[in-house]
Amino acid sequence: MHLRHLLILAVLVPGGLVVSRPAVSDAGMWTFDNFPSAAVKREYGVAIDGAWLARLRSATMRLSNCTASFVSPDGLILTNHHCSEACLDEHSTAQSNLVRDGFLARTREQELRCGTQIADVLVATENVTPKVNAALAGLDPKAANEARKKTLTQLEDTCEEQSRHAPSGPLKCESVTLYEGGQYWLYSYHRYSDVRLVFAPERAIAAFGGDPDNFQFPRWCLDMSVLRA
């Protein structure tokens, strides 16, 4: 499915307002293994290859109930403000309310460890549909459902066990069901369990405008925070 948005760009310059011609953008969602590179190249003349997608994937991460991106070679992570509120609250006291007042670590030593936060970076995907389908062959619906869950759990456990002694460290492996059961994939994540808080503004500016502002572009608040993996 494609959603089409009409964009009109306006620039204020001395003497008047300059308005550019309308631009139409297409939006869609694809898994990294199934990006329509050929269609994008044909329609827009932009080459999105596997190397570019791999770099994008490695720069993107999953936090606890949030998403985020690496923004520096030193592990700095940019995310929304509410994604750091649990960490701010964890380190707040009656005398120092970090959620209300914000936080800034001026040195690495001042960064606060977030006890309940993790960061997972997707490093590999494997289509395990043939393995799952083989385990379900000839079974009735009830038995097939049990066999499916058992097979996916075994694939996750095997993946994690095989990675325990890998040079890059152990992986967190999760099964993913796509297209309402049409495909089964195994996603492998590198997990950062030591995540630190570097910066978060005071909540009043982070949440300025409330929900109405949250669904506008551009936004007028400072809804962001910086962590480090």
- Which residues lie closer than 8 Å to 46 by C-beta, 6 or more apart? 40
Strands (E), 20-141: 23-27, 60-63, 66-70, 76-79, 103-104, 112-113, 119-127
Q: Is the model more confident about 11 or about 200?
A: 200
Q: How confident is the model at residue 132, as a pLDDT?
A: 97
Query: What pLDDT does 211 receive?
Result: 85
pLDDT at residue 26 is higher than 90: no
pLDDT for the residue 24: 61
Structure confidence at residue 215 as a pLDDT band (50, 70, 90): confident
What's residue 2's pLDDT? 40
Predicted pLDDT of residue 53:
94
* Mean pLDDT to the nearest integer, 17-23: 55
pLDDT of residue 213: 84
CA dist., res. 139 & res. 151, Å (int): 14
Would you give the DSSP letter of residue 64? T
- Residues 162-194 pLDDT 10s: 998 877 779 999 999 999 999 999 999 999 999
Exposed/middle/buried for 188, CB within 10 Å: 0-12, 13-18, 19+?
Answer: buried
Per residue in 78-130, pLDDT (tens digit) is: 999 999 999 999 999 999 999 999 999 999 999 999 999 999 999 999 999 99
Residue ranges covered by each domain of the chain = 3-50, 64-118+194-228
Residue tagged 């950062």 (tokens) = 192
**Terminal alpha carbon distance of the chain:** 35
pLDDT of residue 59: 95
pLDDT in tens, 36-63: 999 999 999 999 999 999 999 999 999 9
Q: Which residues contact 210 (CB under 8 A, 6 or more apart)?
A: none
Average pLDDT over the chain, rounded to an integer = 89
Would you state the pLDDT for residue 52? 94
pLDDT at 28 over 70: yes
- Contact present, 48 and 41 (Cβ < 8 Å): yes
